[in-house]
Structure 1
């Protein structure tokens, strides 16, 4: 039986776990990362599913990665990472007959030329505001609760009145924001389609945040991809963590965390080994996995366990990977330039689609994201071909195989309507069902890719349960460093950074009072 000792054990080598490992190792800690799968990366991986083609298995475009202060601080370009861009960032076909779908380009004037003439000034003004406020706004959204520096920075740059107007705007339903800001369908649908990258209905309060951020990130820095596949982002993170001294071991599943006196003292693995912990455990696992399965029952307040009974996962994902022997034959030729394409629904169609998901109905006309990876990165497949994927959602709780096959057929119909002859160009196709996603990464429970719903009732101090909003847990030196913690899903590394910072603060003499206060607050609200 293998026995080891480490200052910190990071459970899971997803991107958040790797960020946390690098930061703790930078601080001089002896760090061991234990990953259940045979390779690191979590939901940031690529593979050769078809000869000569590289397919991203989960996440693919990374606007949050190039914006995130956590990943920017890693200097991943020094560790082998290179970025690539499609000629256009994202487009949204309004209907199958649309021959001039609007697109966002990284050149704001080119974007505006795509829009209804009435919306050019509004788009330009929104982008000018974004450039002024993006740093304090992202600091506000990415900080543990309560954020301090970000709101102060927003007040300084905007003044109280404009800051309040911005807060009100971001708390709107995306549908209301779109109508409030724009007059034409082009800009409205670009906002709504990007809002649907999260699982929040466009008529729900707070759904505007994702749409606003993504259209502005698309305009500002684009939706880049790693040259050579998503796995190259993971490779750079692995190189970064190891260069700092972190040890990463794959094929070692953690089965439990041993707790004595309110502190984690060891982790137990499926192979029967025990790793003693001197300082901290960072869990890059789902919140229910950490709080219900890994921690002993005596270490988690009963009130918190009851709260987890109401934990809501985001809707399951169905992903289809394609190899095409020629570019996609779009009706709207402009879509051939876009890395990301939104298909299948206008404003009312998006509402109907969400209604299907919420009533356990398999959508006949699903809204879908379509990725043209060779368009974004020519290394992904031979010249003149396209490595592509489609991504949509199933309702929660439906049967996996039959429902997934039926939805996959609907996806192919939507693609054929928007690109007649699409099917004839497909030379390879694989379907990743929700069960496939979970089997390859336990954090993707039932095909949920965001660590839990992004709706307001499970964000901020309610993520993953009322009383959180930070990486701290009821166990003094155990920290949640996954998308299950604030600020949630997306490849930004903030959850890992927040957990590492909390662990470093908690281990210092000045950190213990703050750590005891956080534990007391958690205990009070979960009692």
Structure 2
């Protein structure tokens, strides 16, 4: 670096939740941390804005945060000391079937059991058994999920708690499709749909291997901690992270797009921004951006092993997204009142319909009958809109690679509204305004949401653990010394929980510690073994 305009111990690229978590953990260790964010405000996909009219506060991207509420990473930051308050809807999740029956998860186990027993008398007890199994391993499982791979200590504790027999059964469930697991455990459609619908928060359909564990995890988290929202908007979560970082001397500079990671002799030295300014990183560069963005645009192929680049070009994104936000004059007038109290509502497929929806996405066709995820934000947090009104949204997945001009997006938003209207007659008459976003609009608002991919890469089994983002170590370390991948393209993947950011911070601290040279040598040898031809 011939010219240096600023210096910090660590430069973090991107002020999304993972970047802010990483920055906070490094600041806790006494590092001088500078976070560079291209957008005009921090938060990444955790932001709130008045999109339609004053007084209606919309979560622009993500909205409900069960994984954040359960995450030991987030809990360890004590964000309640910086203004974060969780709010809950009267019930957690409702799956509305085509005939308007509802399967409802409530924070009361007894209420959930009663709802599921309406579909099959034995299913309430079966759900309670699953929740008891979850409760027995909850802390160990979450520790294993949110630590670098392989999670030797936490995994050992998990399997000691389970024993061989139950450990093998858990391992089997991790590989199963949600449809098969649901049929094994439940007799009625209610619980089966909750599993399959929650799995579809990823890009995994009911018949995909590995979808069972994603559906089960979200179902159990819903029963355990609910699907909470930050009081005042998702941006309050980001605001608490920024405030905590500032209290420890860290800085967030918005409107500063990083255009390159500066390297020499295989080591990250700092970054350059769009203005041409250069920032030296004395200890580490951490990147909260998608893996292809970091490696192919900010680092460049010439600085990377050719086999690594080949693997990266095979990286698979999750599905694209269409989202519509509404300002409503009143609550959504559901035909089934059980849906009215749920913060999150799934509409409106049965199991064959969810399978068709998934198959159409896999085939590259825009689904005729999409699954909708609907958020009733004022129901969960009355501060989101004026009294008596509702801030709401719906999103659905669509295939990648389609052109979404304004007219096509408008017509698809109309289709989404028609599905809601079918189950809530009079819904359209309550729309004061709407704000549709297709894949292009989502990416323009947040470049990390490439074509509206909200999980920074497929959640399929071939792109998890040591295969995320490419076959390798399953860690935040990269082929460039002192450069760490802190975004959701890294293990443990998408959603807001801080895992990738925390793993990157831990790796940076280990590299800078007393055993740093030994650590760097081990990582280099492992990378050579994986990527050398």
Output the TM-score relative to the length of structure 1.
0.98
Once the two structures are superposed, residues 330-375 of structure 1 have per-residue CA deviations (whole angstroms, 9 ceiling, x without a partner) of 1111100000000021111011111111222222211010000000
How many angstroms does 1:432 deviate by? 1.1
Task: Identify which of 115, 119, 126 aligns with 1:122.
Answer: 126
Q: Which residue of 2 aligns with 1:523?
A: 528
Q: Which residue of 2 aligns with 1:107?
A: 108
Task: Identify which of 477, 483, 486 aligns with 1:481.
Answer: 486
Where 2:155 maps in the other structure, the secondary structure is helix
1:455-494 aligned at under 5 Å gives the runs 455-494=460-499
Q: Which residue of 1 aligns with 2:164?
A: 160
Supply the distance in 2 between the matched residues of 1:243 and 1:32 (Cα, whole angstroms).
13
Task: Identify which of 69, 75, 78 aligns with 1:75.
Answer: 78
Supply the distance in 1 between the matched residues of 2:467 and 2:520 (Cα, whole angstroms).
19
1:112-261 aligned at under 5 Å gives the runs 112-116=113-117, 117-261=121-265
Supply the distance in 2 between the matched residues of 1:155 and 1:309 (Cα, whole angstroms).
36
User: How many residues are aligned here?
Assistant: 525
After superposing the two structures, state which structure 1 stretch, 74-83 or 508-517, moved more.
508-517
Contact 1:22 1:241 in 2 (8 A): yes
Q: Which residue of 2 aligns with 1:367?
A: 371
How many angstroms does 1:403 deviate by? 4.3
Contact 1:362 1:407 in 2 (8 A): no
1:1-400 aligned at under 5 Å gives the runs 3-49=5-51, 50-95=53-98, 97-98=99-100, 100-116=101-117, 117-400=121-404
Where 2:527 maps in the other structure, the secondary structure is helix
Q: Which residue of 2 aligns with 1:430?
A: 435
Where 1:289 maps in the other structure, the secondary structure is helix
How many angstroms does 1:2 deviate by? 7.6
Q: Which residue of 1 aligns with 2:513?
A: 508
Supply the distance in 2 between the matched residues of 1:398 and 1:445 (Cα, whole angstroms).
13
Contact 1:344 1:368 in 2 (8 A): yes
- Measured at CA, do residues 156 and 315 of structure 1 come closer, stay the same or move farther in structure 2, by a change above 3 Å? same
How many angstroms does 1:160 deviate by? 1.0
Once the two structures are superposed, residues 168-197 of structure 1 have per-residue CA deviations (whole angstroms, 9 ceiling, x without a partner) of 122210111111111111111111111111
Where 2:280 maps in the other structure, the secondary structure is strand
Supply the distance in 2 between the matched residues of 1:92 and 1:179 (Cα, whole angstroms).
17
Contact 2:203 2:458 in 1 (8 A): yes
Contact 2:196 2:205 in 1 (8 A): no
How many angstroms does 1:264 deviate by? 1.1
Supply the distance in 2 between the matched residues of 1:326 and 1:78 (Cα, whole angstroms).
34
Contact 1:258 1:296 in 2 (8 A): no
Once the two structures are superposed, residues 40-78 of structure 1 have per-residue CA deviations (whole angstroms, 9 ceiling, x without a partner) of 000000011222211100000000001111111110000
After superposing the two structures, state which structure 1 stretch, 386-395 or 355-364, moved more.
355-364
Contact 1:136 1:153 in 2 (8 A): yes
How many angstroms does 1:266 deviate by? 2.2
Q: Please provide the CA RMSD for this pair.
A: 1.2
Supply the distance in 2 between the matched residues of 1:23 and 1:141 (Cα, whole angstroms).
18
Once the two structures are superposed, residues 6-64 of structure 1 have per-residue CA deviations (whole angstroms, 9 ceiling, x without a partner) of 11100000010001111111111111110001100000000112222111000000000
Supply the distance in 2 between the matched residues of 1:51 and 1:36 (Cα, whole angstroms).
26
The alignment status of 1:498 with 2:500, answered yes or no, reads: no
Contact 1:30 1:246 in 2 (8 A): yes
How many angstroms does 1:416 deviate by? 1.1
Supply the distance in 2 between the matched residues of 1:15 and 1:252 (Cα, whole angstroms).
17
Supply the distance in 1 between the matched residues of 2:415 and 2:360 (Cα, whole angstroms).
14
Supply the distance in 2 between the matched residues of 1:266 and 1:112 (Cα, whole angstroms).
54
Supply the distance in 2 between the matched residues of 1:266 and 1:111 (Cα, whole angstroms).
52
Where 1:115 maps in the other structure, the secondary structure is helix
Where 2:276 maps in the other structure, the secondary structure is coil
Where 1:137 maps in the other structure, the secondary structure is helix
Supply the distance in 1 between the matched residues of 2:380 and 2:498 (Cα, whole angstroms).
23
Task: Identify which of 417, 422, 440 aligns with 1:412.
Answer: 417
Supply the distance in 1 between the matched residues of 2:315 and 2:393 (Cα, whole angstroms).
30
Where 2:256 maps in the other structure, the secondary structure is coil
Contact 2:40 2:254 in 1 (8 A): yes
Output the TM-score relative to the length of structure 2.
0.97
How many angstroms does 1:515 deviate by? 2.6
Contact 1:466 1:526 in 2 (8 A): no
Supply the distance in 1 between the matched residues of 2:467 and 2:175 (Cα, whole angstroms).
16
Where 2:102 maps in the other structure, the secondary structure is coil
Question: Is there any run of 5+ residues in structure 2 with no aligned partner, and where?
Answer: none
Contact 1:486 1:495 in 2 (8 A): yes
Where 1:399 maps in the other structure, the secondary structure is coil
